[in-house]
Amino acid sequence: MAKQSIDIGSAANDGTGSNLRVGGGIINDNFNEIYTALGDGSSIDQNRLRNLAGGIGIDTTLVGNTLTFDIDSTVLTETSTDTLTNKSIDLATNTLTGTTAQFNTALSGDDFATLSGVEVLTSKTLTTATLGGKLINDSGDMELEPVTANLVIRGDGSSLDGRITLNCDANTHGQTITAQPHSSGQTNTMLLPKGGNSTLVSEIATQTLTNKTLDSPIINTPTGDVVSLSGFQTLT
């Protein structure tokens, strides 16, 4: 109900205004409404706050005239360190920041290769790759297994032919296998000698040939003072 007021009249004992009984009834009605709302026996203080119940993740504490709101561990803040479980982050509208090591920790079972890190890649395919520097295998062996059974060493496209250099153990000199120049217009196949301890001979070096057959040879200069012929031979 609306608050009721006692009519006090215009002057004392002028016979106007509410009589004592009516005034007492108005007072009782007003206080009855207050105590019905607050509860009988309540202590009313104009400076005292009533306790407010918290909600999910929010706790409230009332001490004297101070009402404190606290958030618990279920509420995330900008600076808190939390663990999210069964959550999805839309990367189209969010940005994840951190180091590669941090992402490696966050994503179990997967590793990231970095531009400056030393990584071991297994079962990976490099398409049109450009490799710089030296390729080193700590085991001492390096195996190449071309899919087409040919390992192609290309020239530079203008002046240098394809070549392979085999260095000595000190890497101070070595032997170079060089392709024929473009002007020859031919592709040849060089067969390496078979048999144990086979050695390629040089065109200009002095070497000894053993168990070799010379087909229609042309000998310009004898190699000694005496030429011995066995059986019937014809010299031309």
First to last CA, the chain: 147
- 191 in any annotated domain: no
Structure tokens at 83: 């663990």
Residue 70 lies in a domain: no
* Structural domain includes residue 38: yes
Please, are residues 199 and 212 in contact by the beta-carbon 8 Å criterion?
Answer: no
Closest CA relative to residue 7, chosen from 22, 17, 16, 19: 17
Which pLDDT does position 233 carry in this prediction? 59
In a domain? residue 65? no
- Measured in degrees and rounded to the nearest 5, phi and psi for residue 26 equal -65, -40
Q: Which domain holds residue 2?
A: 1-42
Count up the domains in the chain and report the number: 1
Q: What is the pLDDT of residue 93?
A: 93
Local confidence pLDDT in tens for the 236 residues of the chain: 788 888 888 887 777 888 888 888 888 888 888 888 777 766 666 555 555 666 777 888 878 777 788 888 778 888 888 888 888 888 899 988 888 777 766 666 556 777 777 788 888 888 888 888 877 777 778 888 887 788 888 888 888 899 999 999 898 999 899 998 888 888 888 888 887 777 888 888 888 888 888 888 877 766 666 666 666 556 65
Radius of gyration of the chain (CA): 52
Quote the pTM value. 0.42
- Tell me the CB-side half-sphere exposure of residue 109, using CA atoms within 13 A: 0
Give residue 54's pLDDT: 67
